[in-house]
Structure 1
């Protein structure tokens, strides 16, 4: 049998000793002769004969044939568990190529670790909170906002973005992963002004000012995006339907963005920071079921109030003019 193997596998005998020491080449043992038949031998060797052995595959096949392990033959147990605590050389390298996505995911894990109820609060904020804000917005407009659906849609888009941002930036984080505030606010709470700790009143007011400035910047950006989207949809509808006439004057993009910045920096900042402090106290005092019910109720009231205050502010700044006057003028002309 050995002579037959040498006839059909000259590549192994010629190249294997040159590539690797003999001690690293696995030894194959053929089964007992009584279990082999002529037909099986002919089939096996004839099928392999047509495909010559490639000596370049030996380095890749050697770990599979000889058993996985490190160069010292110790495997993972060499030097203790996990290679002496230093980690395996085969572990995939850590990559920072995802950039902002990796930072958001890391921040999410830190927030969930600090507050296990954070995902539920965020879900309620987006489902209940945004819906309540839209209802409050519509309730403050003439004819329940049916004549100003373009403004309502803009509120819906901007509100969805801003509510997530508010929740994310005000949520507590683990101490090791919390982002330090600027030097002027270095001694202030990092999450919200009612965060537990030995902070002075000035420190807590510093958080209020810092977060308010941050929210105003986010509100300006989201307001510009939402206004541009709303105005773009109105223009698109006019192209599709030349007879369509919007009952309202399209809001000036920059002025509407400023309005959102003021609303976020003042109204939303005060309401959400207070809400975080109340929820912190309720989470300690109430069972989980009652606490979650209180979260839904509080965020419902908070967002209805927020929607109403934004409409009043938009009317005051003139960024969203009601179509009521235009409709009344048209009726007077018809009469």
Structure 2
């Protein structure tokens, strides 16, 4: 217990962000040992550490300190594992090892920030967010605008992230931080004070907000407890629900004289406030509960909005006075209350008379759309902040970094393939992915192939070792096919070389598709017709080729979509199997008939009974669509895409060995399945009329039907057929 206490105490002193600068667990241990030593010295002087009466007394020893210093790096390693599991798609092995060294709190770094002050669409900000924090720390008020109509739980994750980061930086500058929350009516300020003073617990505070919908308290609780434990003052800034209901039904005139004076600004006919209410009544998008754009309903909802803004503004003004000249006030409110800038009617404009706009910063949390700002228009916010849980579908990466990669390679966007140009335009191609393509383009042969074949380019971007794995599969296919042919034909091998070549080529072609179709790929498709996006072409383009592929930027594959990937892959392989089977058997039979016509003396010696074309094709296609499809999706998706490329990214040799072993085992298992299936459906060779063995010995049968190879097509079945 003492060991755990020492470890947890030290962990609370050093922020996890400091850990990213350490290069080894040894130096982390040294750092924590020093911190633990200071804690011991401080604890020995603090009576609170000594316990009461016969209770537990903390008496650390050198053994405890040493154990704590060794325990903490292990704890950090377990915390870093969670960061690696949630790494975004396309993260390289080096980046994953860096994530491993980070704690749970650093998972928030995966969130995305956009600069909304620029003209045009917002610009993504790279992982270095120094200028974001400089802007926020230079402000006196920071507004966090969250979703209103449908509350988003991810907003609470971002709120805790921003508040924690601002508190840590303000703590270093000895600046007090105040958090004002609209969700708490201002009448509950006394309850919040008791919660901050720890004279009441979370259950007591939860009992004061019975009107909250189910689950809302659980979303706010981590933020509230963090503020209480870290000295962030909490303020309730929302208007009372009773006041809002009265205004929505009777208007501001329906309030009592005291409530009207406290919660609403003076209102007179022809005043600026009357015009403001009328203007807001014409903006139904701002009114969360308005059902029609005109009439008394929206007009009174606009009055309720004025009451909300005025009440929050009074609380923010008081918080600025209480926090002095250097304090920072963070306000959590609905996005519509802050997103219209200083010239609008929201909170920033109401605070502007006492606080310049340059000392106010607005952040919109997880906005559904990114507003494209034209010249002369006000920005909707300073920054747009998206949580890591939100799928990025446009402008996901820092365009300046992408431009730097292009400039370093001496390439222009117009020289890239059209699908990559479209991906860059949407901002869904990361600088790392662009660099991977440029590296492929340095090889003359690969450059020509990737330029001509979009499918190959997409697969190489998703898996740089795709060609290696295709070569492994083809090597296994050709080797096993030739061995099987020689074992069955013996001394007739060279005389029947035409059959051998036919079976080997056919097997290689089928094997190519079993590797090609389930392989993961990164597709940035270009639709010539906008209607195709919502049609069949767009539907098929939204389904991954491999059900186990990691979702990349701009995609969101739910379980139903991944199930459709299995079904669609099975349909593709079924088609390949049926066409190849019918084509091969038809050509083989036509070849045998031609030999009989050219050499009639061979006809009486033919004793083999030919395989039924369509029955064999149907069985074989079903086998490929079900068994081979599932096996190859697992090999390409789970074994190679996840284990070899993700968890073994730092050791490519181990990944290649694992891939070879998995594909060899898959080949052997597929052979056993096909042999059993062929026997069940009677595709094995039968005895001819007169009880003559249909294929007693291939060496005595000049017209033997081609033997069965890896794909299981032919007159006989060999136990080494692969698929």
Aligned counterparts of 1:330 and 1:121: Cα–Cα separation in 2:
39
For residue 201 of structure 1, report the CA deviation from its aligned partner.
3.0
**Matched positions, count:** 230
Q: Give the TM-score normalised by the residue count of structure 1.
A: 0.56
Name whichever structure is richer in strand by fraction: 2
Alpha-carbon spacing, 1:256–1:194, altered in 2? closer, same or farther (3 Å) = same
Q: What secondary structure, in the 3-state scheme, does the structure 2 residue paired with 1:172 have?
A: coil
RMSD of Structure 2 on Structure 1 (CA): 4.1
Structure 2 match to 1:267: 627
2:559 corresponding residue in structure 1: 201
Structure 1 Cα separation of the partners of residues 618 and 475 of structure 2: 26
Can you list the C-alpha shifts for 1:214-237, whole angstroms capped at 9, x where unaligned? 211111101111212332343344
Say if 2:685 and 2:694, in contact at 8 Å, map to a contact too. no
- The CA deviation string for residues 86-137 of structure 1, in whole angstroms up to 9 with x for no partner, is 989xxxxxxxxxxxx99971211222222110111111111213433676xx
Choose the corresponding residue for 2:472, options 118, 124, 128. Answer: 124
Distance 2:673 2:462 in 1: 32
| 1:323 to partner: Cα distance | 5.4
Q: Match of 1:112, SS?
A: helix
Report the alpha carbon displacement of residue 241 of structure 1 after superposing the two structures with TM.
7.0
Aligned ranges 1:127-206 → 2 under 5 Å: 127-132=475-480, 138=484, 145-146=488-489, 156-177=504-525, 182=536, 189-197=543-551, 199-206=557-564
Distance 1:242 1:107 in 2: 50
Distance across 2 between alignment mates of 1:165 and 1:121: 13
Q: Secondary structure at the match of 1:216?
A: helix
> Deviation digits for residues 230-267 of structure 1, max 9, x if unmatched?
32343344444723634531112222211221111111
Gaps of 5+ in 2: 1-411, 416-448, 528-532, 698-723
The residue aligned with 1:255 is 615
- Is contact 1:193–1:273 with CA below 8 Å preserved after alignment? yes
For residue 283 of structure 1, the aligned residue among 645, 657, 672 is 645
- Cα offsets for 1:15-42 (capped at 9, x unmatched): xxxxxxxxxxxxxxxxxxxxxxxxxxxx
Contact 2:462 2:520 in 1 (8 A): yes
1:293 Cα offset (Å): 2.1
Cα distance in 2 for partners of 1:330, 1:105 equals: 47
C-alpha contact (below 8 Å) 1:220/1:260 kept by paired residues: yes
CA distance in 2, matches of 1:188, 1:283: 23
> Where do residues 215-230 of structure 1 align in structure 2 (5 Å cutoff)?
215-230=573-588
SS at match of 2:524: helix
Q: What residue number does 1:297 align with?
A: 661
8 Å CA contact retained: 1:126, 1:164:
yes
Per-residue deviation at 1:269?
Answer: 0.6
Distance 1:235 1:253 in 2: 15
Contact 1:188/1:207 (CA < 8 Å) preserved in 2?
A: no
**Partners of 1:153 and 1:246 in 2: CA distance:** 21
Point out where structure 1 has 5 or more consecutive residues left out of the alignment: 1-84, 89-100
Q: Structure 1 or 2: larger helix share?
A: 1
Query: What is aligned with 1:318?
Result: 682
